[in-house]
Amino acid sequence: MLKLSSDAAETIVRHAESTYPDECVGLLLGQIAGEAKIGLRALPLENRWAGQVSLAETDNAESRRDRFYLDPRDYLRADREARAAGMDIVGCYHSHPDYPATPSERDRVGAQGVGGGTSFAFVIQSVRDGQAAEVASWLLLDEGARFAQEELIIA
């Protein structure tokens, strides 16, 4: 389960709408309480996709409309910020412009460095015609073989 603060949810919505029709990406900072994650803050990062990794044969290094890349240097900076504030990185988010909030095969391939399990949320914010639509949180399970939706509470 992911409990997302309303501030964090609002930050994701604003970020996803502002980068439309491109995908946005960011991290969730907060705390882990057993199998639950508490996302206190959403940290918007730059989508630095430029074909750094191979996700599918259809990869286009120029297109951020259908690809995102969260640079490890940005992750490192966020990790330091989180630790200094007594928090952890409890997940990431990205947007799906004009596409449902369900993970794609490219999302699964690109998540393989994370580790999976219940301690890391993959939040997807759908955006349609520039307006934020549904949002959902997913867990990477079975050694990275599949995503499963988890409960998302915004409060």
User: Which residues are near other proteins by CB under 8 A?
Assistant: 23, 25, 32, 49, 52-53, 55, 66-73, 75-76, 79, 83, 88-90, 92, 94, 96-97, 99, 103-104, 106-117, 119-120
| Residues composing the chain | 155
- Structure tokens of 57? 């044969």
**Which of 13, 70 has the CB closer to other proteins?**
70
Structure tokens at 68: 């995102």
Contact between 106 and 130 under an 8 Å Cβ cutoff? The reply is: no
| Beta-ladder partners of 88 | 30
Quote the least distance from Cβ 137 to other proteins, whole Å: 14
CB of 132 to other proteins, least distance (A): 16
Minimal distance, residue 11 CB to other proteins, in Å: 18
